A and B are shown apart, each in its own frame.
Chain A
């Protein structure tokens, strides 16, 4: 079993839709949770970072962490074609080693 599980998609939505991306994990020691966006032939770029449980909002993006269920989510409101990319969740118990999901490919249709 992988440390981090993520549905690979692809997920296709119309422009303006609310997108929900999710990851589950098995290691209860994970304390830091991150979402990265990766465009084709580019490196991942950090979107959101959350410590422990709770919600965090940044513009159209909201990250949620439920440590009791070992489940994290990223919501994208008013999705745009420019949001089309692969979204990777990542987590770590400390600053030393990051565990990545396999990524969910998102396509936002104009």
Chain B
């Protein structure tokens, strides 16, 4: 069974440019998470979806970040415009109803110059 798929794996952009990340969760997983992981830190939740509904976006900086999960499957996370401080790894995870079934993708490493 395929795991969580993310693309691109790496992205380098200049500040003020837009960027988008894509995630395809494990088939059948209704819950999808986007996390931010800074170097030497643990993942921090940006947004959580239950099917197509964003049920927790309290930590998402809504002035520049947006996300969508159309049809309750794939999801896209967008930053516009990007700032230097956005350089980090963006992780997508999906889960079923059990906390021991949260699986992470490999992440997208963003560098903002």
A contact set with B: CB distance below 8 Å: 4, 6, 8, 32, 34, 36, 41-46, 49, 88, 90, 92, 95-98, 100-103
Interface check B106, CB cutoff 8 A:
yes
Residues of A within 8 A of B102 (CB): 46, 98
Which 7 pairs of residues, A with B, have the shortest CB-CB distance? A100-B42, A43-B104, A49-B100, A32-B99, A44-B104, A43-B106, A102-B41
Q: A8-B40, A98-B102, A100-B43 are in contact. Are A43 and B91 (CB under 8 A)?
A: yes
In the complex, which residues of chain A have a beta carbon less than 8 angstroms from the beta carbon of B31?
95
Q: Judging by beta carbons under 8 Å apart, are B99 and A102 in contact? A: no
Across the two chains, which residue of chain A brings its CB closest to B100? A49
For the complex, count residues of B whose C-beta is within 8 A of A. 26
- Taking CB atoms, residues of chain B closer than 8 Å to A97 are 45, 48, 56
In the bound complex, what is the Cα–Cα distance between A44 and B103 (angstroms)?
8
| Other-chain contact of A46, B43, B55, B103 (Cβ < 8 Å) | B103
B106 and A34 contacting across the interface, CB-CB below 8 Å = no
Contact present for B42 and A102 (CB under 8 Å): yes
A45, B100: Cβ atoms closer than 8 Å: no
The reply to whether A88 and B107 form a contact with Cβ atoms under 8 Å apart is: no
Complex Cα spacing A90 to B43, Å? 9
**Shortest Cβ distance from residue B22 to the other chain A in the assembled complex, whole angstroms:** 15
| Closest chain A residue, CB of each to CB of B99 | A32
Pick the most buried of A8, A49, A92: most chain B CB atoms within 10 A of its CB: A49
Task: Tell whether B98 is near chain A: CB-to-CB under 8 Å.
Answer: yes
Residues of A within 8 A of B105 (CB): 43
In the complex, the answer to whether A103 meets B40 with C-beta atoms within 8 Å is yes
Residue of B33, B91, B97, B102 ringed by the most chain A CB atoms within 10 A: B102
Identify which of B4, B99, B100, B102 gathers the most chain A CB atoms within 10 Å of its CB: B99
Q: In the bound complex, what is the Cα–Cα distance between A34 and B98 (angstroms)? A: 12
A50 → chain B, closest Cβ, in Å?
A: 9
Assess whether A90 is in contact with B42, with CB atoms less than 8 Å apart: yes
